[in-house]
Structure formats: structure tokens, C-alpha cells
Amino acid sequence: MSSAVATAPGGTSDRPYDDAIVKKFILATMLWAVVGMTVGVWIALELAWWPANMGIPYFTFGRLRPLHTNAVIFAFGGNIVFTSMYYSMQRLLKVRMWSDFLSSFHFWGWQGIIVAAAVTLPLGLTQSKEYAELIWPIDLAIAVVFLAGALNFAMTIANRKVKHLYVAIWFYMSFLITIPVLHVFNSLAIPATLTRSYPVYSGMTDALVQWWYGHNAVGFFLTTPFLGMMYYYLPRASGRPVFSYRLSIVHFWALVFLYIWAGPHHLLYSALPDWAQTLGMVFSIMLIAPSWGGMLNGLLTLRGAWDRVRTDPILKFMVVAVSFYGMSTFEGPMMSIRAVSALSHYTNWVIGHVHSGALGWVGMISFAILYWLTPRVWNRKLYSESLATTHFWLATIGIVIYTVTMWGAGLTEGLMWRAVDDGGQLAYPVFMDIVNRLSPFYWLRFLGGLMYLTGALMMAFNLIRTITGTEPHAQPEAVPAK
């Protein structure tokens, strides 16, 4: 497999690889990472100390929380996925992107959508569906821009100079195919005004369609493209070939088939029909297998390179990322069991779970790729390796504080809500008594998030100094032998 990942000389002489688009997406990724995480830290503060809402409509938790989720998923997450795809697809397919115009349209269109989101969400313009809050004109723009990007990738694949499609490409393709399907069907709505619309689905059907979308936004926006990135960049950074080709096939097809079914686990014990809840639970539990297939394939790829994990910050980030992927894809299925969901649903435990995946898996592998790519596409030596290592430790400790704190908060509120005394009455009938128990957890979570944000700021500083530096990047490490 390693031959497919080999460093190519740079396309053909008349059509060299387009790395200008990669650079643009890297800069956008850094910008939106800082913005999205800053909003996250801010709203974390709002829960610990409500005056941080500032008495201004645009900055209340209810309006900023969707901005935070959209910014980290679609702005930070989306831009790093596209960064990684534009760089690796050209090299894996040994051909320049099909259309420079579409690449550029894709970039500016995506940034325009993000800016539109950052303006409309604080204004309270929302469809209220989680991770699909944006109003219908922006939804239309998302469909057009995403499909334009997908067309460019599809035509690049069609024009490829390598016959076999490397495993990373399969994962990228599943992302390009599934996201438009989810986005279009979940967003079907009748406009009332330019900024407001009502979905064609009602009640529990709307809820089911939303969580079919919502869970698979996790599956196909924050998982499959990132697994594709793992399959390209982990072998590149470690100099080791992918552990098992067969495992990658099995876990790919199992993952894309099983993921779609898991949505109803967001609606356990709700008014959704029981059979649909059960399907959601069963398929979520089955998802452990393909998820761990990916994790093991990633970790075992590092066999023979573990000594370098001790010194190389990029590999440190990758190891922690893949480990968190394994941890959160174990925790998720456990939380999908009805009896566990009965306790965890509606609590901070869910927030902790999401962030172990988002900060741990998505964030850490993104940082690794940024540290690996930036010196290469700008041909500049990384400004400070020790600063990158500091970032790694700040981020790792930050995640651990965040997750453990949210477990504590989730268990506390979940157990207090359900506690009954000997007489069969609620032990804590005043809801606010439970809310106020969470204050120390909220402060600690704020601290964990602040550490993670500080690390990201260090990275932005480090990479900008790298880009503006003068010393060229050392020649690429030896390509692993087939």
C-alpha cells in the first residue's frame, strides 16, 4: 500500500499540483479554529457565570451555542478536511485538481457560508435543528458550494493517473456522497419569509429525520473524512505502511453501512416508535466493530515507529487522536444502550462524550496535519518544535479535565434528577438545587476548554512564524519501502 502514498515529484510539468488552494484552506482552518473555540470557551463561561451573557441578545447562550457548534464542525472541521483532501487527493491520484476555478469557488463559497452563519446565528435567525440551524438561503448555498467542490473532486478522480483507489479516497468519497444526501433531505422546508421556513416533516418524523442527519453529520463529516486523513497522513508522518489492507476494506464497508442506522439513539425513551429506538440502539452497539477496526489499523500502523512518538510532536498528536477515537467510539455505543441513556441523556455527560470525540479525535488529528503540512507546502522549517510539544500537552490535559469534569457533572445531575426518598417522592424537587451543584464542574470545564484554546493559539502563532520564516523545510523523510 505504501507505494500509493509515496511522495510524488509534483504532478506533470505543465500541470503541477495546486498547493495554493491548500495554503488558503490551512489559513482558513487556523482562523476558524480560534474563532470556534473562543466562542466555545465563552459559552462555557456563561454557564459558570451567567453575567457573561452581557445582557445583549446576540450573545446569549441560546444563540451562541449553535454558532460554536457550527464554527467548530463546519468552519474548523470543514476547512481542515478540505485542506487535507486538496493536498492528498492530488498526490494519491497523481494529477492536479480538475478545475482551478471550482477549487477557488469552493474555497470562497465555503468561507462566505461561514461568515453568513456567524452573522445570522447571533441575530437569532435559525431553523433550530442541531447542526442544521442555518436558514434556507444559506442551506441552498451550502448545497451548491459543496456539490461544486464534490464535482471537482469527482472529475479529478476520473482523470487520475493511478488506477487503484487508495483507501483514503474511499473515505473521502463516502463523505462527498453522504453529506449532500443528509443535508438536502433534512433541510426540506417551505419558506415563510427570506429568513424563516418550516420543515416539511412534523413532530417525531422531523425529530427522526433530524437525528438521522445529526448523528451522520458526526459519522460522515467528523469521522469518515478524518479516517481518510488518518490513512494518508499517519503513514506519511510515521514512515510506516498501513498495518492491514484487509482490515481497512472490512471496516470501511461496515462503517458506511452501519452508521446511518444509529440516529435514533438520540431519541431513546422518547415518543419515537419503539422499533426505531431499538434499531438505533442495536446498530450503535455494532458500530464498535468497524470503529475499532479503524482505530487498531491506525495504532498498529505505528508498529516500529513508537520510539519516534516520544520525540515527534506530530506523532504524539496522532496517537492521542486515534486513542480518543477508540475511546469515544466505545463510549458512544455504551450510551446508546437504553438503560445507560436513561441516565446520560439530557445531561452534561453527552457534552463530555461529544468533546472527547471533537477535541480528542478531530481536533488532535487536525493539529497533527497542520503541523505536518504547513512546513511542506510553504517549504519553511517549523518555527518551534518545543512549542508544538507544549501545545500537545496543554491540549491533552485540557481534554482530560474537560471530559472528566463533564462525566462528573452528568452523573451528578442525572442521579439527582432521578433520586427519590423513602417515601417515593423526589429527593431534589427544586430543579435549581441541582443546577447549583454543577457550578464547580462548569468552572473546571471552562478551565479545560481554556487550556485547549490556549494550545490552539500557540499553534496559530507557531505556524504563522513558520510561514513568515526564511529557513526552508528539510527534505522529506525517506519514503517507506514497499
Q: Looking at 100-108, 189-197, 294-302, 313-321, which segment touches another protein (CB under 8 A)?
A: 189-197
Binding track over 337-366 against another protein, x by CB under 8 A: -----x--xxx--xx---------------
Q: Is 390 exposed, middle or buried (0-12, 13-18, 19+ CB in 10 A)?
A: middle
Which parts of 75-114 interact with another protein (CB under 8 A)? none
| 1, 481 Cβ separation under 8 angstroms | no
Q: Please state the closest distance from residue 389 (CB atom) to another protein, in A.
A: 33
Q: Which residues contact 252 (CB under 8 A, 6 or more apart)?
A: 167, 170, 171, 174, 290
CB-nearer residue toward another protein: 25 or 261: 261
If you search the block for the grid coordinates 473546571, which residue do you land on? 444
Nearer to another protein, 79 or 216 (CB): 216
Q: Which of 20, 27, 61, 148 binds another protein (CB under 8 A)?
A: 61
For another protein, the binding residue among 105, 417, 443, 461 (CB under 8 A) is 417
Select 164 or 468, whichever has its Cβ closest to another protein: 164
Residue in 173, 382, 444, 456 binding another protein, rule: CB under 8 A: 173
Tell me 337's DSSP state: S
Nearest approach, Cβ of residue 63 and another protein (Å):
5
**Cβ 110 to another protein shortest distance, Å:** 22
Residue 190 β-bridge partners: 198
Query: Cβ neighbours of residue 310 under 8 Å, at least 6 residues apart?
Result: none
Per CB under 8 A, which region of 6-14, 119-127, 326-334, 376-384 contacts another protein? Answer: 119-127
Check binding of 441 to another protein (CB under 8 A).
Answer: no
Of 199 and 360, CB closest to another protein: 199
At 227, list the grid cell.
479516517
Q: Which of 190, 339, 478, 481 binds another protein (CB under 8 A)?
A: 190
d(CA 318, CA 322): 6
Name residues whose C-beta falls within 8 Å of residue 328's C-beta, 6 or more positions apart in sequence: 353, 356, 357, 360, 361
Q: Is residue 370 within 8 Å of residue 318, measured between CB atoms?
A: no
N-term to C-term CA, the chain: 7
Interface with another protein: number of residues (CB under 8 A): 100
CA dist 59 and 457 (Å) reads 22
Compute the radius of gyration of the chain from its Cα atoms: 22
184 contacts another protein (rule: CB under 8 A): no
Residue 234 in the binding site for another protein (CB under 8 A): no
Distance of closest approach, residue 237 Cβ to another protein, in angstroms: 20
- 3-class DSSP state for residue 195? coil
Residue 259 to residue 288: CA distance in whole angstroms: 10
**Least Cβ distance, residue 474 to another protein (angstroms):** 29
Q: How far is the CB of 42 from another protein (least distance, A)?
A: 13
Should residue 119 be labelled a site residue for another protein when binding is judged by CB under 8 A? no
Backbone angles phi, psi at 190, to 5 degrees: -100, 120
Distance CA 165, CA 266 (A): 35
Q: Which stretch binds another protein (CB under 8 A): 102-110, 141-149, 277-285, 394-402?
A: 277-285
CB of residue 323 to another protein, shortest distance in Å: 25
Q: How far is the CB of 220 from another protein (least distance, A)?
A: 8
55: left (phi over 0), alpha (psi -120 to 50) or beta: left
Query: Could you give the string, one character per residue 62-81, with x where binding to another protein holds by CB under 8 A and - elsewhere?
Result: xx-xx---------------
Could you tell me which stretch among 110-118, 138-146, 361-369, 423-431 binds another protein (CB under 8 A)?
Answer: 423-431
Residue 311, φ and ψ in degrees, nearest 5: -110, -25
116 belongs to the binding site for another protein (CB under 8 A) = no
Q: Which of residues 132-171 bind another protein (CB under 8 A)?
A: 154, 157-158, 160, 163-165, 170
Region 285-324 residues binding another protein, contact defined as CB under 8 A:
none
Among 280, 360, 363, 448, binds another protein (CB under 8 A): 280
In whole angstroms, what is the distance from residue 212 CA to residue 185 CA?
10
Question: What 3-state DSSP class applies to 134?
Answer: coil
The whole-angstrom distance between residue 117's C-alpha and the CA centroid of its chain comes to 18
Collapse the DSSP code of 26 into the 3-class scheme (helix H, G, I; strand E, B; otherwise coil) and give the result: helix
Q: Tell me how far, at minimum, the Cβ of 192 lies from another protein, in Å.
A: 4
Report, in Å, the least distance between residue 375 CB and another protein: 30
Nearer to another protein by Cβ, of 168 and 382: the residue is 168
Interacting stretch for another protein, rule CB under 8 A, among 18-26, 245-253, 394-402, 449-457? Answer: 245-253
Q: Which listed residue (104, 206, 323, 327) binds another protein by CB under 8 A? A: 206
* Cβ-based nearer residue to another protein, 236 or 345: 345
Burial environment of residue 456 by CB neighbours within 10 A (0 to 12, 13 to 18, 19 or more): buried
How far apart are CB 376 and another protein at their closest, in Å? 27
The greatest distance separating any two alpha carbons of the chain, rounded to the nearest whole angstrom, comes to 82
Residues 6+ apart with CB under 8 A from 244: 297, 300
